[in-house]
A = this chain, B = another copy of it.
Amino acid sequence: MKLRRSGRLVDMTHYLLERPHHLIPLTFFAERYESAKSSISEDLTIIKQTFEQQGIGTVRTLPGRSRRRAIHSENDRRGSRRKLSPICVNSCRGPDRLLPGGYLYMTDILGDPRIMNKIGRLYASIFADRPVDVVMTIATNGIPLAYAIANFLHVPVVIVRHDNKVTEGPMVSINYVSGSSRRIQTMVLSKRSLAEGSNVLIVDDFMKAGGTVNGMVSLLQEFNGNVSGIGVLVESEEAKERLVDEYISLVKLSAVDIKEKRIAVKEGNYKAFV
């Protein structure tokens, strides 16, 4: 449908926002709006400028093609840093978050789609340059973060379970040792849900010694998959011996004092990657 510049700007903004990290040929827009490529190029310049000015992101153009590289330009990543850091560090603070056993109450943070989307966007931009076919997480708390990231990377989610649910068909199961409690546990994944040889981004909400994440890495080996990256929301600094080497965390929990009901929360290591 033929559209004037004003209409094109509105529609293209919507189109690009719906498809972060996608490569779109310039001719696609030229045909969509029955407009000259030169006009589309000018539209993209306006959108790029506005995106960058307003901290929405950026649009990158490759020779002969227009490509919206990422919602998160360098600028915007820094913007997210500023915005995320108070949200997460401050909201994880507070003595009423401390639960028996040194656990942290995070249900409200995980239950807020807005916060999850912001973190999902940030993590997606960090992992955008790596090959990711699927985001893997373990039920239940990792699921919101996994969907938020997968949404921005445009890949599906697979959910590992602790129980063998009847409605998922044949399962592959492994035993693993929980790093902190040293108990042997089981995790299972539906055989159908992950293709052999997939590139997998592993995500979880909380990591202590890393036993659960490590279990997902082992499970992945049964599917001949590759680990594209590991992202957690909160890591606990307590862990002396970490079972996982390379991971990204948003928040680091340290100095948990159960008696005094005090916790110290600081930023995770994600800044090194943005």
Contact = CB atoms under 8 A, between A and B. Distances in A.
Interface of A: 1, 3, 5-7, 9-11, 13-14, 17, 46-47, 49-51, 53-54, 56, 99-101, 103-108, 111-114, 116-117, 139-141, 143-144, 147, 150-151, 154, 156-159, 161, 165-169, 190, 192-193, 206
Given A6-B6, A107-B193, A167-B103, A113 B151 contact: yes
Q: State the main secondary structure of chain A at its contact with B.
A: helix
B105 A168 contact: yes
A113 B6 contact: no
Contacts of A10: 9-10, 13, 46-47, 50-51
Contact of A113 (B99, B104, B147, B192): B147
Contacts of A192: 105, 107-108
A49 B50 CA distance: 21
Given A17-B14, A154-B114, A192-B107, A50 B7 contact: yes
A113 B169 contact: no
Contact of A54 (B11, B141, B157): B11
A193 B111 contact: yes
A230 to B, nearest CB: 19
Contacts of A154: 113-114
